[in-house]
A and B are shown apart, each in its own frame.
Chain A
Amino acid sequence: MNKEREITDKPVEQDPPDHLGADLLRKGLAEDPDYRGEHPEPRFFITDETEDDFGGRMMTLNLGPQHPATHGTLRVILKVRGEKIIAADTEIGFLHTGFEKLAEHMSYQQWVTVTDRMNYMSAMNNNVGYAIACEQLLGVEVPRRAQVIRVILSEFSRLADHIVCNGLAGMDVGAFSLMLWAFERREKVYDLMEAVTGTRLTTSYTRIGGVFRDLPEDFEEMAKSLVEEFRRFLEEMRSMTLGNRIFEDRMRGVGVIRGEDAVNWGITGPILRASGVAYDVRKAMPYSGYERYDFEIPTQEDGDSYARFVQRLAECEQSLDIICQALDDLPDGPILSEDKKISLPEKDEVHQNIESLIHHFKQIMFGHGILPERGREVYSATESPNGELGYYMVSDGEMNSYKTRVRPPSIFHFAVLPQLIEGSMISDAIAVLGTLNVIAGELDR
């Protein structure tokens, strides 16, 4: 026990063993104990008493963190005159859980489960992104079958994310049944995920060097019938919204982002492409064999909420095409890397032969595990449904990473929200927020 503690507590060892923290906190602030940041107060809290032309007053209004239209614990502070937003400020961090700090204390394989909790609308894409980053860090080859399985499930996950985002955006502007339809179809995707991974929401499916288990026997049938259903559903969603007068009036011309602004603000994914910039990591720097599939990067011109809605529908079509091609091209073979330093042996093997037992032991015990080269670092980007999901990892040669940074796409999208909604009506703010698809778990980590 003592031995174990020495190893796991290594970072604390070099300092006085004040595991309680308060002293360390003070030490960190020694140079400037009062320093809390440059602007400790939110920009406005108090109702502005200045009167407008009609004798009305400015009012400060909180949108969130508990408002149903914020889709998560986000707080937008609005300064309004009547229905018009004069200024806006945001506050996030309600869901901050210290995922990046945890990564420095958990082993590489363990942290896969944490990635589920970031963008919980499409956990699979987070799993895959993280696994790819670790594989680059270690220089591991992933078997072809595992790569194709990852592609298929990521695309299903992307479909679920896109249609739920569109459904909720529809609900925000009054098309309530759109949301119900979208959730119904997402449950079908979750059924498929459950059949493959054993869980519906927090999939934790990837392992470094491959995936956790093979596909069930009837997977191809299930997937193909789901693809057919999705094609019909996308048509339904399209016919219900596009060309609908109320829907268009609410969505067109609100939250317009120009292409160059989007690039400047670090906006990626469907929002960037809805502003006319055709950047998609799957095409630009293909991973997991995306270069083998024939698909397009749809773009829109307008950059408004309507364009983002249409963009997500168009991307769903491409995802379905990729899934069909990947299903036809699904090879047989192993699903996990053969490198026994990286991938756990089968449980039966562990019970039956000594080598597997040793490999198992070496990976599980503290102080062993997966050990990348000291000083190695990697920035790996994948295309998640929201945009470029980057993992920046640095190794100091120990069993847990020295630094893991997640570049969540949502945080850059939410940063521009005040600019998008200032000067518009409160109802427009809802229509903009809905199509930005900001996921609080990913935003706050």
Chain B
Amino acid sequence: MRTTLTPEQITERLAKRFAEGVAAHLPPGEGSSQLAIVGRDLLLDVLSFLKSNPELSFDFLMDVTAIDHLHFEDPAIGERFVTVYQLYSTTHNHRFTLKTPVPEDDAQVPSAVELWGSALWAEREAHDMYGIRFEGNPDLRRLLMPEDFPGFPLRKDYPLRGRGERDAFPQYLDSGPVSRQAAGASAEDAPEGPGNGEGDGE
């Protein structure tokens, strides 16, 4: 039977089952839908409850992604990274969003791949872009970036535009990349921001 629940009703059911472990969070603004924040020790329990409970029965894991909160601290998260799970139920036609904070110095979360196959590549991409390790995911190779690429491009401290393609692969340079600061340039005379073309293909 189809009974579409609102996000508030879903968080209520989560709170009933997991008590303190799950925190409800309502983003500001009109028409925002409530989401739940869960610690990573409880993540798999909550996900499997969301999947198997007949009232919720989220059979689709639509997407897994992450946010880097480096320049925009969110008191509800309290850590640098957060992984975001988008769920959908074809049985009841409702959606839900779940977040799990991930600390910077120990960037790993349990993988949801046991529950949903779609987690395999979604987590692989989140790992590729943010460097968050999904423990238990059998295939955490690079997805979009080349396999010998250092760094994680969607982190906020990764610049939009760097020196050029060759410098992203230090192993192909004889001397390795030379830091501009090491070469004597101070912070004041740094060239213009992204878009001036300087530094490309040097």
Residue positions of A touching B, CB distance < 8 A = 1, 5, 8-12, 14-29, 31, 33, 35-42, 92-93, 96, 98, 100-102, 104-105, 136, 139, 261, 263-266, 277, 279, 284-285, 372-379, 381, 388, 390, 392, 394, 396, 402-403, 405, 407, 411-412, 415-416, 444-445
Contact = CB atoms under 8 A, between A and B. Distances in A.
A145 to B, nearest CB: 23
23 contacts: A18-B179, A19-B159, A19-B190, A19-B191, A20-B163, A20-B199, A22-B167, A36-B149, A40-B141, A40-B142, A93-B146, A261-B117, A266-B60, A266-B117, A266-B122, A376-B27, A376-B28, A377-B27, A378-B32, A392-B65, A405-B84, A407-B86, A415-B120
B84 A392 contact: yes
A22 B163 contact: yes
A25 B151 contact: yes
A208 to B, nearest CB: 16
Given A27-B157, A136-B31, A263 B168 contact: no
Contacts of A96: 144-145
A279 B59 CA distance: 12
B97 interface: yes
Interface of B: 27-32, 59-63, 65, 67-68, 71-72, 74, 84, 86, 90, 93, 95, 97, 105, 116-118, 120-122, 125, 127-129, 131, 133, 137, 139-163, 167-168, 170, 177, 179-181, 187, 190-194, 199
Contacts of B97: 379
A41 B95 CA distance: 37
B31 A20 contact: no
A273 to B, nearest CB: 11
A15 B125 contact: no
A275 to B, nearest CB: 12
B147 A101 contact: no
Contact of A21 (B31, B131, B159): B159
Kindly name the residue among B117, B147, B194 whose own CB sees the greatest number of chain A CB atoms within 10 A. B117
Contacts of B120: 415
A22 B31 CA distance: 42
Given A38-B139, A405-B65, A412 B157 contact: no
A339 to B, nearest CB: 14
Given A41-B147, A412-B121, 17 more contacts: A14-B71, A18-B180, A20-B159, A20-B199, A22-B170, A24-B157, A37-B127, A38-B133, A42-B147, A93-B145, A93-B146, A101-B153, A264-B116, A377-B32, A392-B65, A392-B86, A394-B67
B16 to A, nearest CB: 24
A40 B127 CA distance: 13
B118 A264 contact: yes
Given A21-B158, A98-B153, A396 B28 contact: no
Contact of A23 (B32, B155, B179, B194): B179
B72 A402 contact: yes
B140 A24 contact: no
B163 A21 contact: yes
A9 B194 contact: yes
B193 A12 contact: yes
Contacts of A104: 160
A37 B158 contact: no
Contact of A266 (B65, B118, B156): B118
Given A27-B157, A381-B62, A18 B181 contact: yes
B167 A39 contact: no
B160 A101 contact: yes
Contacts of A10: 71
Nearest to B96: A379
Nearest to A402: B72
Kindly name the residue among A19, A29, A284, A372 whose own CB sees the greatest number of chain B CB atoms within 10 A. A19
Contacts of B30: 139
B139 A265 contact: no
Given A5-B192, A20-B163, A101 B143 contact: no
Contacts of A36: 142, 147-150
Contacts of B181: 16, 18, 23
Contact of A100 (B117, B151, B154): B154
Contacts of A263: 59-60, 90
Given A31-B105, A390-B86, A403 B67 contact: yes
B48 to A, nearest CB: 14
Nearest to A10: B71
Contact of B131 (A28, A265, A444, A445): A28
A17 B120 CA distance: 36
A98 B155 CA distance: 12
A374 B59 CA distance: 32
B177 A22 contact: yes
Nearest to B32: A376
Contacts of B86: 379, 390, 392, 407
Contacts of B31: 136, 139
Contact of A407 (B62, B133, B145): B62
A372 B84 CA distance: 20
Contacts of B143: 92-93
A215 B10 CA distance: 43
Contacts of A22: 162-163, 167, 170, 177, 179
> Which 7 A-B residue pairs are closest in the complex by CB-CB distance?
A266-B118, A21-B162, A38-B140, A93-B144, A396-B72, A25-B151, A22-B177
Contacts of B90: 263, 277, 279, 284
A390 B63 contact: yes
Contact of A411 (B29, B93, B125, B139): B125
Given A28-B157, A139-B29, A394-B67, A38 B141 contact: yes
